[in-house]
Structure 1
Amino acid sequence: MSRSDRTTHAGDGTVTGALRIEPSVRALLRRLRPGEVAVIDILDLDQQSAEEIAARRPGAVIDVKASISGRYPTGGPRVLLEAGVPLIDEVGSAILGAKDGAKATVSGSQVLVDGTVVADGREVTDDVLADAMQDATEGMRVQLATFTANAMDHVEREADTILDGAGLPDVGLDLEGRHVVVVAPGFRHREQIASIRRYIRDHRPILIAVGHAADATLELASAPHLIIGDVDGVGDDALRSADRVLLHEPRGGASGQARIDALGLAHTVSDSSLSSTALAILLAHTQGASVIVTVGVESSLQDYLDTSQADASGTFLARLQAGTSIVDAPALAQVYRHRYSPMTLVLLVVAGLVALGAAVWSTPAGRAWAEDLWTMVNSWIGGA
């Protein structure tokens, strides 16, 4: 069904479509269809979640909480606005009681079902977002303090793993001296994979995919050598294509284990409290990878604050431990140039000479010159 079949856009900006109510983004992404009105319950919408929601092309997004609260300048609302998706936030929890699938109309800051206003919040426009971002900058001190506290908590609990790789499972891959690409499902990870495909073709690195980034890895690069993390959202094709699976669900979920068992896939398990991305980086580092290219992994302070703080602080420590072997995909894409093999260069020269010879031979003067040259060469050979 096309988007136009599911939603109606009036000339005044009014949007009409079916309500899809899922407080959890992961659950929402499994059910959301183009043109539907997505209802979420997220305080400070992060860039990754917003990007994944926008990719489903909803008619509008309704947030129960403030999509940008003022704690820090989160990037999610900007992602939706740039994608042309209307965003209404601070509507309150009453809308969660509306009937899932009911036809709703979004007009300005209001959400109506059967002509009755069921929610009224804040229409997030460019001007509203600019003011909120300015206020949010002042809240970064508190967020930074929280981030630091989370990092110290990881140091207390996972110091041996971070420093020495203690407790990391054997995944059966030889990474010594190899290039490794860690693909996490972060903001613009698909775009980043596409930007380094030439590097991947040239160097054939070990590909480690984190969670549902395995699908993008298989589609845009190659089959992942290792999938690590919660595999509940990973497609069957990607799971079956991987050489190894490391099941890691630090929040205690069991759905991934059931999925692996149902598919009959061999796997190992880790119960580390670090994020799956952190584990992937530490695995590559402790096993001697010479270069670790990160895709969809936080690299700036705002990126770290825009992600789950418990996960981001562990990833930050893992990156520090990997040190100079870490290269971010956006930077790699800027500086990498295609590497041609010697045989390719020889073939290019030969092809150029053949083209030049054909051009010379096509003219009478050129043909006469070539015949004289051939006679001269033969006389030299005969004289020798």
Structure 2
Amino acid sequence: MRLPTLRRTRPVEAGVITGPVRLDRRTKRLAGRLRPGDIALIDHVDLDRVAADSLVAAGVAAVLNAKPSISGRYPNLGPEVLIAAGVALIDDLGEDAFQRLREGASLRIEDNVVFLGEDKISVGVRQDTESVARAMAEAREGLSVQLEAFAANTMEYLRQERHLLLDGVGVPEIATQLSARHCLIVVRGYDYKADLDVLRPYIREFKPVLIGVDGGADALVEAGYTPDMIIGDMDSVSDDVLRCGAEVVVHAYPDGRAPGMARCDRLNVPAITFPAAATSEDIAMLLADEKGATLIVAVGTHATLVEFLDKGRGGMASTFLTRLRIGGKLVDAKGVSRLYRQNISASSLLLLILSALAAMAAAFAVSTVGRTFLNVVAEWWDNLIFSVQRLFS
């Protein structure tokens, strides 16, 4: 497959961007430290939409990427998100940028050149709408190759984890009661905020078990809820949320290694491990299903082929098989916010208020108490008018 060439583009009015730089090789970890106006330095080949959404939400002025944001392997969605939000994207700066820059240093960006004071740090590729669209079109030409790789990864996962997937072998014992209950699994992914907001009436009525997958636990807290369980490798959930009292299940490698346990031990948070080759969101679904949940509602998870590929790793193949395994028990909340909105126009609200007032007035007028009160008011008004007339007569 031919990789697209990201050409250097020079916007008509690129302008000069200044601000402090925040750097981290993991975009997900960096997003928690960013402030509006910061310049983010990342090391992220094929920038995905979730990562781009987190950068936009942080209000960054620009994103500097040491690697190509679109390698051409597949049409990833992140660069389009940044450009549409008006965030400058400078690509392919090279490893030297991480070596020469320190956290908080004040940078100046002129077109595709990065300056530290008067020193030229690096020259990259400044992306715009046209260059991103061109690279995405070329990447789509090689989508068939990625489909074949995805299918191969799916079969490999089935071979490795067939006992877990088919028989539930390896699912740990937990204290949280899931049997005969609804479970709401939240991943900090696509449209999670909008979908959580629309699901408020459901959460209030059915009181499902709230399961946060890594940063999804923070998403639940931000929405005003307390998670009952936290599942994941513990690389993006905050310390405060991790100590909120929820039951913690650390996602471990198939060989039993669990890097996230070190963090739980450091924070004195009790935790158990769940070794599996699947993704954290998938083991959350498998655990809920195996423990007898009657309904699993998923927020922010991956559902489409583009989303699977946009995640950019072979492990996403487990999501496809997990959804087949759970079947009709799974309800994906993705897009609910677009399907259903509780929007009331100002004219409709005014009409509703006037109708209510008219109904109250009619009921008041036909009642005995109402007629008596109206007679008293009428007599008081007549006396007031008579008194005013006497003053001027």
- State whether TM-score is above 0.5: yes
Q: Does 1:33 align with 2:35?
A: yes
Of 153, 163, 167, the match for 2:166: 163
In the alignment, what sits opposite 2:75? Answer: 73
Q: Does 1:305 align with 2:302?
A: no
Cα drift, residue 59 of structure 1: 1.8
In the alignment, what sits opposite 2:85? Answer: 83
Superposed, 1:1-384 pairs within 5 Å as 13-100=15-102, 101-250=104-253, 256-333=260-337, 356=359, 359-362=362-365
Cα drift, residue 107 of structure 1: 1.5
Structure 1 distance, partners of 2:249, 2:135, is 41
Q: Give, as a single letter, the amino acid of the residue that structure 1 aligns with 2:364.
A: W
In the alignment, what sits opposite 1:4? Answer: none
In the alignment, what sits opposite 2:10? Answer: none
Asked if the contact 2:195/2:335 (under 8 Å) is kept, the reply is no
Between 158-167 and 288-297, report the one with greater CA deviation: 288-297
Between 189-198 and 139-148, report the one with greater CA deviation: 189-198
Asked if the contact 1:15/1:59 (under 8 Å) is kept, the reply is yes
Cα drift, residue 104 of structure 1: 1.6
Between 67-76 and 171-180, report the one with greater CA deviation: 171-180
Asked if the contact 2:46/2:69 (under 8 Å) is kept, the reply is yes
Query: Could you list the per-position Cα deviations for residues 93-128 of structure 1 after superposition, in whole angstroms to 9, with x for gaps in the alignment?
Result: 222221213322111122122233322222111111
Structure 2 distance, partners of 1:255, 1:33, is 28
Structure 2 distance, partners of 1:366, 1:139, is 80
Structure 2 unpaired stretches of 5+: 1-12, 343-354, 373-393
Q: Give, as a single letter, the amino acid of the residue that structure 1 aligns with 2:208.
A: P
Structure 2 distance, partners of 1:180, 1:303, is 23
Cα drift, residue 86 of structure 1: 0.6
Query: Could you list the per-position Cα deviations for residues 300-324 of structure 1 after superposition, in whole angstroms to 9, with x for gaps in the alignment?
Result: 1100000142331112211111111
Q: Give, as a single letter, the amino acid of the residue that structure 2 aligns with 1:321.
A: R
Q: Give, as a single letter, the amino acid of the residue that structure 2 aligns with 1:96.
A: F
Structure 1 unpaired stretches of 5+: 1-10, 339-351, 370-384
Query: Could you list the per-position Cα deviations for residues 246-290 of structure 1 after superposition, in whole angstroms to 9, with x for gaps in the alignment?
Result: 111439876532332233333211121211111011112222322
The alignment of Structure 1 onto Structure 2 pairs a total of residues equal to: 347
Structure 2 distance, partners of 1:353, 1:95, is 65
Asked if the contact 2:232/2:250 (under 8 Å) is kept, the reply is yes
Structure 2 distance, partners of 1:35, 1:62, is 13
Asked if the contact 1:227/1:242 (under 8 Å) is kept, the reply is no
Structure 2 distance, partners of 1:138, 1:50, is 23
Normalised by the length of structure 1, the TM-score is 0.82
Between 325-334 and 202-211, report the one with greater CA deviation: 325-334
Between 234-243 and 198-207, report the one with greater CA deviation: 234-243
Cα drift, residue 200 of structure 1: 1.2
Structure 1 distance, partners of 2:358, 2:268, is 56
Cα drift, residue 191 of structure 1: 2.7
% identical aligned pairs: 37
Query: Could you list the per-position Cα deviations for residues 342-374 of structure 1 after superposition, in whole angstroms to 9, with x for gaps in the alignment?
Result: xxxxxxxxxx999946633336999569xxxxx
Go from structure 1 to structure 2 and tell me whether the alpha carbon gap of 1:174 and 1:74 turns closer, same or farther (over 3 Å shift). same
Q: Give, as a single letter, the amino acid of the residue that structure 1 aligns with 2:266.
A: A
Cα drift, residue 335 of structure 1: 6.2
Go from structure 1 to structure 2 and tell me whether the alpha carbon gap of 1:21 and 1:356 turns closer, same or farther (over 3 Å shift). closer
In the alignment, what sits opposite 1:8? Answer: none
Go from structure 1 to structure 2 and tell me whether the alpha carbon gap of 1:232 and 1:12 turns closer, same or farther (over 3 Å shift). closer
Cα drift, residue 76 of structure 1: 0.5
Cα drift, residue 130 of structure 1: 1.2
Cα drift, residue 189 of structure 1: 2.1
Cα drift, residue 87 of structure 1: 0.4
Structure 1 distance, partners of 2:333, 2:21, is 37
SS at match of 1:182: strand
Go from structure 1 to structure 2 and tell me whether the alpha carbon gap of 1:366 and 1:245 turns closer, same or farther (over 3 Å shift). same
Q: Give, as a single letter, the amino acid of the residue that structure 2 aligns with 1:22.
A: D
Asked if the contact 1:20/1:38 (under 8 Å) is kept, the reply is yes
Asked if the contact 1:285/1:322 (under 8 Å) is kept, the reply is yes
Go from structure 1 to structure 2 and tell me whether the alpha carbon gap of 1:323 and 1:254 turns closer, same or farther (over 3 Å shift). closer
